[in-house]
Structure 1
């Protein structure tokens, strides 16, 4: 990377955009370029970021007074782990960043735009890498943030064609400032197939067809759609199992578990908590159902492709349209659950050799999202 860049992220939680940023920073560090990162908040990936980059965190931990107050028994108080920095703390951090003489400030996600605007005193150019579609853009960015993106960022990278379209048509980001930059993914190096072990762990017969979905259970990911499609398919196919990895303890997941309890008497819908290592679940799947209503470019889709697994997704849902551009037969009408169930049945009924041939094509496609290709694409865009 020619310029001295300060990356800006909104937090260090384990989610798609944050993982893309981590892979990018690791790739830059491997090339000998020292990465610099400013995070609005910390998270579980913070220590991992710190292995590869100089990291600053905008929000601060509780003050000494807050720590002292917390020790007072029975005293009512607001439970807050972090706090906004004081004016003096902001001045010190800005002065520290100014000494680095950054040429470029590159924000990762629209949720970083608010923090980026605090960095105007650095007198650096601004760019942004956007991973969100309209629902998330409205949720995580203010009108001021989008005006900053439109007027102050010299280049805006969109993770998929649909993201670029939304930014141009809905938020009036100039087309000349936009470029598509597909994500970077770190695919598993381990080639061991642990699918049969995982089937045994879930009580799934070795030869039973398995449809898999993965992601934090929420409306955007369409986990409720996955459950309703599972109900349709399980009622028709005595041996079919469907597995979702990513349920939690929040109300949305509780509703899904309650719905499953109403009809899944044979326990053939498996709602599994988030896993640190989900690869065995990809290994055991015969088909990956990407049920997302809105998913700019899901990394789980690339992991499914790398596992040579056929993928079914919704037209107009985001990056799945880019990834499956050469296989339109795998896309179904947007959120049409009956169409999705029929398509899943159709693909599972294909001869095994045909499914394997398709899977190998998807694996080859997934391998194209390597660190080397990502850095080359980013460099080419910067040279234009």
Structure 2
């Protein structure tokens, strides 16, 4: 954004009233000024770089419901809001960036760092034909405004509903679980809305499934929720309660940041804990766990080891339950032809990170390849969260001379993912710490042999009694040895995978998991 540090001179331009009516729907405010943009034949066109629209509001506010519908030829990936109070200068730090989806749309709630009365909307940096577009802004000043924003977006919302809270909508285990829970609850006739603290790729999937979702942008901080923002969020949550939502599921320990708010507003709270001790300590989630233990009506853990880790930090939790999440039946698909892999491959899944043990996966694969064995490719599917780790591992593989045997895939459509899991020769769960990963359940249900490290999480319980392979001390040489030895014995593998699947069918049905959660709200 160019020339952002400049004074706003509040002079109302001569803007055609029909254009304002058709393009902008602004509650408590008006379009005050435009710059470097003109309306020609019913279409907005920029006349110079850095075009913008300025809105003035009659009352100050700190949160707003925003709806954008941009022209489908719009080439920008994001739009920019600059905001300030009174007639102060625009500043670079007072900028909220809103990402639009593939349909050039955005719907959500934005929160500002300070009280604002003027908003500047910068749709692009360059000269383009904006054509027709629509902006709707509802400042959320009162509970009535919050209810209007909620019902404006989803008129289908009725009472007796459930709020599902996710820390984000990235394509990772915990947010995927929230999406699956939402689907299952809706299939049962429950009224559901997803409240995401931050966005992500799953937002589009929820919208496709017509699942109500609100993304609360720029609200939550890693260490604390400032009091002013806490008050704002309370108003928003109170509006949900007043239209009939009284049950909430907080997913992950991060959501403990808002547990007290939901309890104060009268919600019955179930919290799902997916983090183990090292992650809680490393990411400074300590306070969140304390509030979860204090305000939750039920705390659900996927495995006994996760509960023990939690209680080692916060003390005995009297309302604790151990419910592993179960297998969510996914769309079947043939093997994805666009993914060029060999007939035999060993699969790893998860965010590219030390916690997920991507480095251990690569080192064990190199151990096999060093022995002159070229029967398998090694495929890792997961987003590159730690780009530094990604590039160092790529260098290690390159210097070892084994590049052609590794395939790294950041993200896959659901049907392609399913086929990749089903066709794998083996699944390596190389996590250093992982409570009860969905990907392990997927592998077991697809009768893929699972190799995991002992005492690293919920794999201990699922793979016990001959249902999988557990390797002690993160021993990658033993992982390589055991994999090669076991895959030679097809009968042993068939017996093991059948045993594991039969156990999972009896104990890990997703619908049973959902029913247990519903019962906890009763």
Output the aligned Cα RMSD. Answer: 2.9
Gaps of 5+ in 1: 62-82
Preserved CA contact (<8 Å) 1:233 1:240: no
Name 2:378's counterpart in structure 1. Answer: 242
Match of 1:181 among 312, 323, 340: 323
Q: Distance in 2 between matches of 1:340 and 1:325?
A: 16
Name 2:411's counterpart in structure 1. Answer: 274
Name 2:215's counterpart in structure 1. Answer: 57
Q: Distance in 1 between matches of 2:461 and 2:338?
A: 31
Q: Measured at CA, do residues 270 and 180 of structure 1 come closer, stay the same or move farther in structure 2, by a change above 3 Å?
A: same
| 1:320 paired to 2:459 | yes
Q: Measured at CA, do residues 88 and 223 of structure 1 come closer, stay the same or move farther in structure 2, by a change above 3 Å?
A: closer
| 1:371 paired to 2:510 | yes
Q: Distance in 1 between matches of 2:402 and 2:218?
A: 49
Match of 1:360 among 481, 490, 498: 498
Q: Distance in 1 between matches of 2:289 and 2:234?
A: 25
Match of 1:146 among 289, 303, 309: 289
| 1:283 paired to 2:388 | no
Q: Distance in 2 between matches of 1:4 and 1:380?
A: 15
Q: Measured at CA, do residues 84 and 339 of structure 1 come closer, stay the same or move farther in structure 2, by a change above 3 Å?
A: farther
Q: Distance in 2 between matches of 1:222 and 1:54?
A: 35
Classify the secondary structure of the residue corresponding to 2:457. Answer: coil
Of the structure 1 ranges 295-304 and 267-276, higher mean CA displacement relative to structure 2 is found in 267-276
Preserved CA contact (<8 Å) 1:295 1:318: yes
Q: Which structure shows the bigger proportion of residues in helix conformation?
A: 1
The number of equivalent residue pairs is: 352
Classify the secondary structure of the residue corresponding to 2:492. Answer: helix
Q: Measured at CA, do residues 177 and 86 of structure 1 come closer, stay the same or move farther in structure 2, by a change above 3 Å?
A: closer
| 1:108 paired to 2:218 | no
Q: Distance in 2 between matches of 1:266 and 1:223?
A: 15
Q: Distance in 2 between matches of 1:86 and 1:327?
A: 51
Shift of 1:212: 1.5
Q: Which has the larger radius of gyration?
A: 2
Classify the secondary structure of the residue corresponding to 1:342. Answer: helix
**Larger RCO, structures 1/2 (Cα 8 Å, 6+ apart):** 1
Gaps of 5+ in 2: 1-158, 220-225
Match of 1:345 among 473, 484, 508: 484
Shift of 1:49: 3.3
TM-score normalised by L of structure 1: 0.82
Q: Distance in 2 between matches of 1:54 and 1:300?
A: 26
Match of 1:126 among 266, 269, 277: 269
Name 1:31's counterpart in structure 2. Answer: 188
Shift of 1:380: 5.3
Q: What do the CA deviations read for 1:165-205 (whole angstroms, capped 9, x no partner)?
A: 1112232142x21111111432333164x28x578x23x3x
Name 2:362's counterpart in structure 1. Answer: 227
Q: Measured at CA, do residues 264 and 190 of structure 1 come closer, stay the same or move farther in structure 2, by a change above 3 Å?
A: same
Of the structure 1 ranges 52-61 and 143-152, higher mean CA displacement relative to structure 2 is found in 52-61
Q: Which structure shows the bigger proportion of residues in strand conformation?
A: 2
Q: Distance in 2 between matches of 1:247 and 1:99?
A: 39
Q: Distance in 1 between matches of 2:521 and 2:164?
A: 16
Q: Distance in 2 between matches of 1:143 and 1:11?
A: 19
Q: Measured at CA, do residues 330 and 198 of structure 1 come closer, stay the same or move farther in structure 2, by a change above 3 Å?
A: farther
Q: Measured at CA, do residues 353 and 177 of structure 1 come closer, stay the same or move farther in structure 2, by a change above 3 Å?
A: same
Name 1:259's counterpart in structure 2. Answer: 396
